[in-house]
Structure 1
Amino acid sequence: MWEKARPVNDLLGPNDPACVELTGNALSPGPFVLVGDHAGDAIPAALGDLGVSQADRARHIAVDIGSAALGLALARRLDAPFVAQAYSRLVIDCNRYPDHPEAVVETSDGTGVPGNVRLTPGQRQARIDAVFEPYHAAIEHLLDKREAAGLASVLISVHSFTPVWQGRRRDYHFGVLHDGHRDDFALAVLDRLTREKDWTVADNQPYVMDETDYTVPRHAYPRDLPYLEIEVRQDLLPRRADEVAEVLARALAMARSGTAASR
């Protein structure tokens, strides 16, 4: 199945891509629902290139490199739906509260974003209406649909991280993010990944899930859903996306089986 949410705001023209792409089986009997906050790199034609070079638009500042390929590979293995944001995080970051300073950045990792400087409230709201809210509405609709069908859901937020940050090498392959709220499942996945012979995993690295995170708190917490925000090192993706997906799918399935049995 492949569905697309059509543009609903004047910011997106007829030739702009749909802001949400849904692949996989929305009503899969399996529990996993995959989301990709930073999967895409599109920029609305009305915004030009935001004043950012093509080279910088291909960097981690604009997109979670390889996360789309990983989400699709996981969706195939888990028979799960994957809700992916098509637009660059430089347009608006869908994992930040809309009024947060990091939602629309003026600089990122040393690169200026002139097209994001001194936005009017109306310009900012246009991005929220056209990109941010349709993405989260699609996730809500999917979870509502599954709940109405009597299906359990486990929310998996798929991200990737740059191997080097501010001169420091990040040598682990995976990061498991959680924040203490209903994190039994996330901790079970962390435990499973630590048992993988050729792979290394870090707990709440390279980022800590905190009050700046938006997607998991908005969708998992009110429904009391198990969740996981997984980070995968970008130099593994997309070249080794299938291999990584195999490892993660195994850990997710085993963790789900263990936590479900214990509840």
Structure 2
Amino acid sequence: MSPEPFSLLISCEHGGNQVPGEYRQLFAGHQALLQTHRGYDIGILPLARRLAEGLGAPLAAAEVTRLLVDLNRSRHSPTLFSFITKPLAETEREKLLERYYHPYRRRVERLAGELAGAGGCLHLSIHSFTPELHGRLRNADLGLLYDPRRPLEREFCLAWQQQLAELAGGWRVRRNYPYRGASDALVTHLRRNLPPDRYLGIELEVNQRIPVLDGPLWEQLQEGLLHTLVGVLEVRKRRVS
């Protein structure tokens, strides 16, 4: 029997920069910081919603600031808590985990597990990156992150990169850039628990200079991502049918 086509799951771990009321005092004097990449992934939540709606996929999206607790980091990561929340007492940090970290991660784990069990899960975790880091320009518009040791993830990213390259606009698409796909992330955690032939964990990284402009170029890129993602999924569907 041929394998079932993979079902899509979209997640957005750094979708917003909201600060819950009881923690607002902690962030006094940090309002400007909340508006930067350190507070959230700029422009990404609307893209995640658009892809989920366009493809009829479940969406898990967090809107609390990553400066409260980083939902995309492992439990023992040194960057799980920011310089604002790391000084809190251990009981307060545990409260943050119980209220925001664990519920979000469990929801994504449940959705991914259900889809993987039903045939296969293509998990697209959406993020953005700063155009410049430590004085060096990032020379990409999009990054597709995957684990090179998982052939289906590599195959998917190669196919998506090719379709994106064929679009008008001349998008610069790089694989495992500006970060390594096997680095600490939610998809990395899920790979440990789900088989490689049933779970693909792909991180889409968008250069923030494009959504910050919020003009025709951003609209063009969003439409292109949706169009090409549909194309790659259709190709796979035909191959396994």
Note if contact 1:174-1:233 (Cα within 8 Å) is conserved in structure 2.
yes
Secondary structure of 1:226's match?
strand
Note if contact 1:161-1:233 (Cα within 8 Å) is conserved in structure 2.
yes
Cα distance in 2 for partners of 1:176, 1:72 equals: 19
Q: How far did 1:145 drift?
A: 4.5
> What's the counterpart of residue 186 of structure 1?
157
Secondary structure of 2:206's match?
strand
Q: How far did 1:252 drift?
A: 2.0
Instruction: Say yes or no: does 1:68 pair with 2:45.
Output: yes
Instruction: Say yes or no: does 1:128 pair with 2:97.
Output: yes
Change (3 A) 1:91 1:138: same
Two-structure CA RMSD over aligned residues (Å): 2.4
| Equivalent in 130, 134, 142 of residue 166 of structure 1 | 134
Instruction: Say yes or no: does 1:43 pair with 2:14.
Output: no
Q: What TM-score do the two structures reach when normalised by structure 1?
A: 0.76
Change (3 A) 1:230 1:147: closer
| Equivalent in 7, 10, 17 of residue 31 of structure 1 | 7
Q: What TM-score do the two structures reach when normalised by structure 2?
A: 0.82
Instruction: Say yes or no: does 1:143 pair with 2:112.
Output: yes
Change (3 A) 1:160 1:52: farther
Which amino acid in the other structure matches residue 205 of structure 2?
E
When structure 1 is superposed on structure 2, of 139-148 and 199-208 the one drifting more is 139-148
Note if contact 2:12-2:62 (Cα within 8 Å) is conserved in structure 1.
yes
Which amino acid in the other structure matches residue 175 of structure 1?
G
Instruction: Say yes or no: does 1:228 pair with 2:214.
Output: no
| Equivalent in 30, 38, 62 of residue 85 of structure 1 | 62
Deviations 1:74-130, CA, capped at 9 Å, x for gaps: 112212221101211101111111221111122xxxxxxxx3242322222111111
Secondary structure of 1:116's match?
coil
Q: How far did 1:55 drift?
A: 1.5
Q: How far did 1:176 drift?
A: 0.8
Deviations 1:211-240, CA, capped at 9 Å, x for gaps: 422x11233453331231001111222625
Q: How far did 1:163 drift?
A: 1.6
Deviations 1:6-55, CA, capped at 9 Å, x for gaps: xxxxxxxxxxxxxxxxxxxxxxx982110001112112222224345211
Runs of 5+ consecutive residues of structure 2 not aligned to the other structure: none
Runs of 5+ consecutive residues of structure 1 not aligned to the other structure: 1-28, 107-114
Give the paired residue count: 225
Percent of residue pairs identical: 26
Secondary structure of 2:16's match?
coil
